[in-house]
């Protein structure tokens, strides 16, 4: 059975931004890394300790942290 990261950053929307889900729940629409870090903070994670390249924590779909449009 595959283990999925708790955070999924979905592909960029045609109107801009990326939907973020945390443990299967929609956290919101992020328009950049600061928005993503705020969603993670609200979920109880320390943004100072989050590595955006941590594949065990974040699954990036449709591009990495530089892709928002």
Whole-structure pTM over 0.75, yes or no? Answer: yes
pLDDT per residue, tens digit, the chain (69 aa), is 667 899 999 999 999 999 999 999 999 999 999 999 999 999 999 999 999 999 999 999 999 999 988
Q: Where are the domains of the chain?
A: 7-60
Q: Which residues pair with 28 in a beta bridge?
A: 20
Burial 11-39 (b: 16+ CB within 10 A, else e): ebeeeebbbbbbeeeebbebeeeebbbeb
């Amino acid at each position: 059975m595959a283990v999925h990261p708790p955070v999924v950053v979905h592909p960029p929307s045609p109107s801009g931004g990326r939907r973020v889900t945390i443990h299967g729940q929609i956290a919101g629409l992020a328009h950049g890394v600061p928005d993503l870090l705020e969603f993670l903070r609200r979920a109880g994670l320390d943004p100072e300790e989050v590595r955006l390249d941590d594949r065990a924590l974040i699954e990036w779909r449709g591009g990495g942290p530089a892709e928002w449009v």
